[in-house]
Amino acid sequence: MKAMVKKSVVVSSTLLVASYSNAALYRVVLDESPVETESVYGVAVEPELGTTDCFSTSCGDTDYAFAGEAQNAEPGFSFKEEVPFGIDNTFYYLDYDDIYSYCTSELGYATCEAWSSLLWYGDEDAGIGGLRNERDAYYELSYQTNSTAFYDSYSLSDIPDVGSNPPDVSSYSYSFVDGTEEKVITKVDENGFVLGNTSSGYYSYNNQYIQLYRQRGYYDTGTEFTVLQPEADTSITISDADGEANIISQMGRTMAFDSFSYGGESYVVGSASVATFYYSDEYKDYDSPYTSDSDAEDLDNCIDEDIEPALYPECQNFAFANRAFVWNITDANGPNDDGNRFSVSDWETSSTYYSYNDDEASAQASVRAATISSRGTYSSYPVLVGYNTELDDSDNFLMQAAVFRPSSTSNFSVSENAWTTTFIANATVEVSDSYIHSNSVATDINENMMVIGYAKRDGDYPSDRVSDNRMFVADANDTTPTATFFASLGEDIFFDSAEGKASEINNYNEIVGYVDAETHSEVDGHERRHRGFIFPYNDIGTDADRRARYNDQAWWLDDLTNGGDYSDANNHFRILDATDINDAGVISGTAIQCFASESSSSSMAYDSTAHFAYCNDGVGDERVVAVKLIPISGATSEDIAERSDDSAEDVERSGAGTGLLVLISLMSVLSVRLKKSRSVIT
């Protein structure tokens, strides 16, 4: 349906009718951050637990609370991935050169120098964001918070706790430095709790900055902010079990992505460090410009039960092997009690290569979403999705999309390794004896057992010269869940090489995310621009009336915000990404908003309603903002007014206004967060 994604355009009678009705399905509501930053991203929206449908019932701007993240610059490595770029389980990506190598080998951009600089330096003038500021914070004593999480207009400002095994404050004098912690949000759950990941922030010690841990999952009830702690598996060791357990409890990582309730108890799911990475590997040592002593960079120094590793510069970049994990947050003893935190499922590796392979990689796994199934074999039981590590015949560690299903339905209880891993066919790294994908992950699951996710094409196997994230859907109730890629489903916006991320699926099988809006080659070129989409997928659990509102097809969300009473106000925005959708149909997302200039305090409409219209004749200021898309009560498919595509010039331009800013912002934010690194398979 889009001129830039089809060589020929066929205008159906349905679309002609829609264009004459000139209305819209959604109105765009700006959600402002409580703190002033360069960019704001929409992350999640409060769930609908009843039967409200905002297309049938008029919903107000504040009816569903909204979660977002305010950022000043690029964060370097994501705080929502267990390993750099979601694939570097060797932890060899350490500095600018490594980031640049990833870009050239896995993405192939001609713009890798600029792309890598954004991740490494962040805002170099302001000294904020970027991996370099994190790597050298120990010596520079100037780290500033880059990412601030907010929910329902208040910032999550609690100081993260130090964990169960911090350096002894009576022996070592250190104090928290305000404005140095990083917080991100992953979910607003059915309890109204906010889930996400936080760093410890930095502490001043002996004229240095120390970080106790880079990331740990949390849940915020509104009155209590609780940080989840890891648990060492002492059966896994390299050389010093006690020393390794010491650094895991002090600096180990966790992540929180979703929750579920079962048997009267509530649980948070994600990942947790259970073992160290392979630290006796000099290629993992960060070569700091602030020291010429190689011994001060040796990770072996971090392993000693009699030291406080968080106080040492070389240990600031220490990493871990992580398992999929679950925490009981209802029990009175708390989620960090040994009886309330469990591994979901073991890695799919042999005992010989239990946690490390010949390439010094570390096994990884994570739960990204959970549901209580409403159908099939696992009806009424908790089913989880994410990824796990499999050992292949060549002893490679493959990080692959997986479903975690109860090992037993006769006497199931939430306990250690109570789920069995099943990898999603077609989304595996190795397909037909070739390593087609670098990695894959399942991002969400609904009560109908519909799973969504993506498989990242390896840089050696691009499609139309793009190493894209291939979005897929699968049925977790099948004996072997099998990925069906969006590109095979006959939807115009999901063309063969379309890069994208399917972020969330509600219980009506309505999927939201982002997808490429251009078709040019990225290899030896630059990144394509993206647009947020909604896809009313047709399968078990789909509501025919709801699907009919979208004319039974997938859309860029910009097409559904055009026309009618809200058209002028909506035309101040273009939707870059849709990150969440609840059962009422309310969507959270990220957009660009048009302003006449950098000094303007009020936004303005784009020059036309076309998809790629200029902002103030190409010299305007486009700002990355968080938005909520609220359905217009009574709207139907007849109210859809598809936007036009003015010309190829609008699509391909890369100068001032939309072209430059969107290229930079999407390249450095949406894609850097979601595109995965080149596989380390040999």
Residues 622 and 485 in one domain: yes
Instruction: Please check whether residue 96 lies inside any domain of the structure.
Output: no
Closest CA to 143 of 65, 190, 200: 200
Instruction: Please check whether residue 274 lies inside any domain of the structure.
Output: yes
Residues 410 and 467 in one domain: no
* 45-59, 141-155, 289-303: the lowest-pLDDT one: 289-303
pLDDT for position 461? 92
Instruction: Please check whether residue 173 lies inside any domain of the structure.
Output: yes
The pLDDT tens digits for 545-593 are 999 999 999 999 999 999 989 999 999 999 999 999 999 999 999 999 9
pLDDT range class, residue 12, cuts 50, 70, 90:
very low
pLDDT over 90 at 646, yes or no: no
pLDDT for position 630? 98
- Phi-psi sector, 448: left (phi>0), alpha (psi -120 to 50), beta: alpha
Residues 399 and 468 in one domain: no
pLDDT for position 567? 92
Residues 394 and 460 in one domain: no
The pLDDT tens digits for 432-454 are 989 999 999 999 999 999 999 99
What's the gap between Cα 614 and its chain centre?
Answer: 29
Residue listed under structure tokens 């939807």:
491
pLDDT range class, residue 674, cuts 50, 70, 90:
very low
The pLDDT tens digits for 492-507 are 999 999 999 999 999 9
Name the residue range of residue 674's domain.
1-71+447-682
Provide φ and ψ at 202, rounded to 5°. Answer: -105, 150
The pLDDT tens digits for 505-536 are 999 999 999 999 999 999 999 999 999 999 99
Terminus-to-terminus CA distance in the chain, angstroms?
41
The pLDDT tens digits for 370-406 are 999 999 999 999 999 999 999 998 889 999 999 999 9
Instruction: Please check whether residue 79 lies inside any domain of the structure.
Output: no
Residues 267 and 171 in one domain: yes
pLDDT for position 350? 76
pLDDT for position 222? 95
Instruction: Please check whether residue 121 lies inside any domain of the structure.
Output: no
pLDDT for position 570? 98
pLDDT for position 22? 45
pLDDT for position 291? 86
Q: What percent of the chain has pLDDT over 90?
A: 86
| Token duo for residue 414 | 């939430």
pLDDT range class, residue 660, cuts 50, 70, 90:
very low
pTM of this structure: 0.92
pLDDT for position 296? 72
Mean per-residue pLDDT of the chain: 91
Residues 414 and 452 in one domain: no
pLDDT over 70 at 121, yes or no: yes
Residues 294 and 151 in one domain: yes
Instruction: Please check whether residue 434 lies inside any domain of the structure.
Output: no
Residues 403 and 460 in one domain: no
Domain C-terminal end among 362, 389, 423: 423
What's the gap between Cα 219 and its chain centre?
Answer: 17
pLDDT over 70 at 57, yes or no: yes
pLDDT for position 351? 59
Domain C-terminal end among 389, 423, 457: 423
Averaged pLDDT for residues 480-490 = 98
| Token duo for residue 527 | 């990144």
| Token duo for residue 670 | 């949406």
Residues 359 and 460 in one domain: no
What's the gap between Cα 564 and its chain centre?
Answer: 34
Residues 335 and 454 in one domain: no
Q: Extract long-range pairs of 336-339: CB within 8 Å, 24+ residues apart.
A: 336/164, 336/228, 336/229, 338/231
Cβ-contact 344, 356 below 8 angstroms: no
Residues 409 and 526 in one domain: no
Return the higher-pLDDT residue of 609 and 19: 609
pLDDT over 80 at 16, yes or no: no
Instruction: Please check whether residue 430 lies inside any domain of the structure.
Output: no
Cβ-contact 482, 426 below 8 angstroms: yes
Closest CA to 532 of 677, 368, 385, 670: 670
Provide φ and ψ at 296, rounded to 5°. Answer: -75, 0
The pLDDT tens digits for 232-264 are 999 999 989 999 999 999 999 999 999 999 999
| Token duo for residue 285 | 């040592």
Cβ-contact 657, 618 below 8 angstroms: yes
The total domain count for the chain is: 2
The pLDDT tens digits for 194-228 are 999 999 999 999 999 999 999 999 999 999 999 99
Residues 295 and 361 in one domain: yes
pLDDT for position 358? 65
pLDDT for position 677? 34
Instruction: Please check whether residue 549 lies inside any domain of the structure.
Output: yes
The pLDDT tens digits for 312-355 are 999 999 999 999 999 999 999 999 999 999 999 999 997 565 66
